[in-house]
Amino acid sequence: MSYMERDKYGMYKNSAGPGPALMGADTLIGDNVVNSQEDDLGEIKEIMLDMRNGQVAYAVLAFGGMLGLGEKLFAVPWQALHLDTVNKRFVLNVEKERLKNAPGFDPDAWPDMSDIGWANQVHGFYGTDAGGMGAGSQSGMGGGAAAGGMGGSAMSGGTAPS
C-alpha cells in the first residue's frame, strides 16, 4: 500500500497539498522499499524521530521472514533513503545480499538508538553521516531512480522525506 492509499485527510489528492515536499509520517509507514535493481527489500515499519534536534533519524525497515515470522528489523538512516514519488515507494541503495549483513535487531529486542556507538555502526554500514540525520532526498523519476543531495527534513521545514 502506498502513501496515497493511506492518506486519511486527503492531503495528497491534489497538487496544492503538502506532498511530496512535506509528508505525514503515518502515510509513509508501510511503504515498500526496493533497491536500484528493483529487488524488494521490505517495508517501512516505523519512523524514529530524534527528539533532541527535531529531525527524522531512522526508518525501521522490516526484511526477511514470512508473514512477519522470522522478520528482522533494520534502522536505516533517513538520509540513506530516497522517495520515488512516481512509484510511491522508497529506494535504498543496498544490494539485497548485503542487507542481510546489516546491523539489525529482533522485533522484541530493540537497541538503544541514542547510543553513539550503535549509531556510528549503523551509519558506517550505510555510508551516511551520523551528524547529518534528516538530510534525505526525493525523486520524481520512475524505475527506482533516485536523485540525491536535497538537505533538510520534513520536521525542520526542509525538503521531502527521502
pLDDT per residue over 141-161, tens digit each?
333 333 333 333 333 333 344
How many Å separate Cα 5 from the centre of its chain? 18
Is residue 5 scored above 90 in pLDDT?
Answer: no
DSSP 79: G
Q: Which of 151, 108, 159 is nearest to 133 (CA)?
A: 151
Q: How high is the pLDDT of residue 145?
A: 34
pTM of whole model > 0.85?
Answer: no
Report the mean per-residue pLDDT for the chain.
Answer: 78
Angstrom distances, CA of residue 36 to CA of 41, 95, 115, 129, 135: 11, 8, 30, 21, 20
pLDDT over threshold 60, residue 56: yes
Instruction: Give yes or no for residue 95 having a pLDDT over 80.
Output: yes
Question: Distance from CA of residue 73 to its chain's centroid?
Answer: 12
Question: Could you tell me if 42 and 61 are in contact, meaning their C-beta atoms sit under 8 angstroms apart?
Answer: yes
Q: What percent of the chain has pLDDT over 70?
A: 74
- By CB atoms closer than 10 A (0-12, 13-18, 19+), residue 162 is buried
